[in-house]
Amino acid sequence: MRTATVIVSATAALLALAPASGAGQDASNDPRLPEASRRLQQYLRIDTTNPPGNESEAVAFFADIFEREGIAYETVEPEPGRGSIRARLEGGAGPGVILLHHIDVVPADPRFWKHDPLSGTWENGYLNGRGALDTKGLGIMHLQAFLALARSGQPLERDVIFLATADEEAGGRLGAGWIVRNRPDLLQGVGLVLNEGGSGRVLGNRVAFSVEVTQKVPMWLRLNAVGPAGHGSSPTTRSAVTDLIEALERLRQDPFAPRIVPAVGDFFRDLAELESAAADLADPEGLIAEPDRLAALHRTNPMLHALTRNTCAVTRLQGSSKINVVAPAATAELDCRLLPDQEPRAFIRELRQRLDQPSISIEVLMSFKAAVSSTDTDLYRAIEAVTARRFPGSTVLPAVTAGFTDSHFFRDLGIVAYGFSPAVIPGSDQGGVHGNNERISVQNVERGWQTMLDLLRMIAVAPDRRETAPGAVTPTAGGQD
């Protein structure tokens, strides 16, 4: 692997921004959009689908902006095309804060989208494209707040770092994970991280912001089955494929026992207080004690259900490469997510018992450690204060997420990491994350970066040097023209 400090010319950066735009728009940015939303439109048009990633094109986009703003930056590229970028505003002796987002996005099939996923189309107050929510929209909110803080010239009490990384959607090995292992100097003095994982939504008649403080722990596994080979015309009584199918069916019919860890119990009870439709969550222990109620939660809200137990999703299957050959080996890959207090080796032992098939071995492809970030910090209190001012009557909830983010790399180092976005996302749009028709409202982008700037001022600028923050905004979640 190699590390390089790269200075990218403006011309090279602009050449990287030319995916086809959506119907009714040319490839230039819409001049009617405010600056942050125009930049997000550009960013959405850079194809950083992972695989293969190609994040270095987006790194050039950011590098050009930092050059024009006169802000020093550094890039790393562990493998060709797999770049990340860091820029820093130097401050005092307080623990530095990182604004972190990932550049790469998951694949999108244009056949199932209203607009091309790489178009950045602006329609009815929304910007459409893969990454609008996960996490290019958040990245632009970070960028604009970071630039505004730099332009203000206000002395800072701590370093403020913008960090955009590669490869999160594949586990972060070439992004945040690589930086932690190979460039710890880039994290020197850092004590706080703001990342993806939480956002605002309307519950009842008020806005609630979830702040992710811990997450289920991913454990990606490959099951390797072996058995007799042969001709498809003469099937034997058993094979690697049938052994695998039978074992997976046993796992499907006998899921892991539900249990409520303290962080999940608190999260469920907070949700129940805020929304009448979530009343079933008020007694989490009672909920999991009744299979019918738990099954209903699984049908209506799979994400909340996933917080009640260890889970394994079968995501890949492979057997013979030829239809008339009974292969001697077959594999299944499982995306398992463990509750934060689960001991991984004990989980593997339990899984082996549930599969109940000696011909199957278990290979660990990826596994992380669990960690929780305390809410007893100035940063968490600043999130509460800023959201209360910007969204009167709103509340902040410490949350557990069923997914995982790059925050775990920093928590492993003892760095406090929160998943927080100042966007208020309607329920109808939340399915766009890794789904179809991902989008974010221009209102959320513009309001979001200003809220993020308020937060940075509160935690990084001395109280007597802070500029007066703007007033409250109307807490709607939709788009605007």
Please give the Cα distance from 35 to 55 (Å, whole number): 22
Map residue 160 onto helix, strand or coil.
strand
**Quick check: is 395 in a domain?**
no
Mean pLDDT of the chain, nearest integer:
91
CA-CA distance, 57 to 121, in Å (whole number)? Answer: 20
How many CA atoms, within 13 angstroms, populate the side-chain half-sphere of residue 252? 8
Same domain? For 248 and 191 the reply is no
CATH code, domain with 296: 3.30.70.360
The pair of structure tokens assigned to 206 is 């008020």
The pLDDT value recorded for residue 298 is 96
Report yes or no on 16 lying in a domain: yes
Whether 130 is covered by a domain: the verdict is yes
Please give the Cα distance from 215 to 305 (Å, whole number).
14
Query: Which token pair is 281?
Result: 């969550």
Residue 378, pLDDT > 50, answer yes
Domain that holds residue 177: 10-197+405-465
Euclidean distance between the first and final Cα of the chain, in Å? Answer: 47
Rounded-to-integer distance, Cα 83 and Cα 77, Å: 4
Residues 29 and 89 in one domain: yes
161 plus 56 within the same structural domain: yes
pLDDT digit string, tens, across residues 259-274: 999 999 999 999 999 8
Residue 462: count other Cβ atoms within 10 Å of its Cβ.
12
R_g (Cα) of the chain, nearest Å: 24
pTM of the model: 0.86
Q: What is the pLDDT of residues 307-327, one digit of tens each?
A: 999 999 999 999 999 999 999
Alpha helices in 119-261 (DSSP H): 136-152, 176-182, 240-253
- The whole-angstrom separation of Cα 36 and Cα 47 is 19
For residue 208, tell me if it sits in a domain. no
Do 55 and 87 fall into the same domain?
Answer: yes
On whether both 317 and 451 belong to a single domain, the answer is no
Alpha helices (H) along 175-327: 176-182, 240-253, 262-274, 284-289, 291-300, 302-306
User: Are residue 409 and residue 349 in the same domain, yes or no?
Assistant: no
Considering the domain architecture, whether residues 222 and 317 belong to the same structural domain is answered as yes
As a dihedral over the C-alpha atoms of residue 120, residue 444, residue 159, residue 150, rounded to 10 degrees, the angle is: 80
Same domain membership, residue 152 and residue 185: yes
Residue 15 has pLDDT above 60, yes or no: no
If asked whether residues 21 and 137 sit together in one domain, one would say yes
CATH of the domain at 147: 3.40.630.10
Q: Residue 93 is which amino acid?
A: A
**Strand, helix or coil at 29?**
coil
Per-residue model confidence as pLDDT tens digits over 125-177: 999 999 999 999 999 999 999 999 999 999 999 999 999 999 999 999 999 99
- Distance from C-alpha of 143 to C-alpha of 341, rounded to nearest angstrom: 35
Q: What are the start-end ranges of the E strands in 72-229?
A: 73-76, 84-89, 94-102, 122-123, 126-128, 158-165, 190-195, 200-203, 206-215, 217-226
Per the structure, the count of domains in the chain is 2
Contacts of 300 (CB under 8 A, 6+ apart): none
134 backbone φψ class: left, alpha, beta (φ>0; ψ -120 to 50):
beta
Per-residue confidence at 203, pLDDT binned at 50, 70, 90? confident
Please check whether residues 326 and 429 belong to one and the same domain: no
Asked whether residue 357 is assigned to any structural domain, the reply reads: yes
Q: Tokens 């930086």 correspond to what residue?
A: 179
Instruction: Give DSSP secondary structure letters for 440-476.
Output: EEHHHHHHHHHHHHHHHHHHHB-GGGPPPPP------
CB atoms within 10 A of CB 459: 23
248, burial (CB in 10 Å: exposed 0-12, middle 13-18, buried 19+): buried
Q: Which residues touch 14 (CB under 8 Å, ≥6 apart)?
A: 64
Handedness of CA 104, 107, 109, 114 (dihedral sign): negative
- Segment 39-77, tens digit of pLDDT: 999 999 999 999 999 999 999 999 999 999 999 999 999
For residue 475, is it within any domain?
no
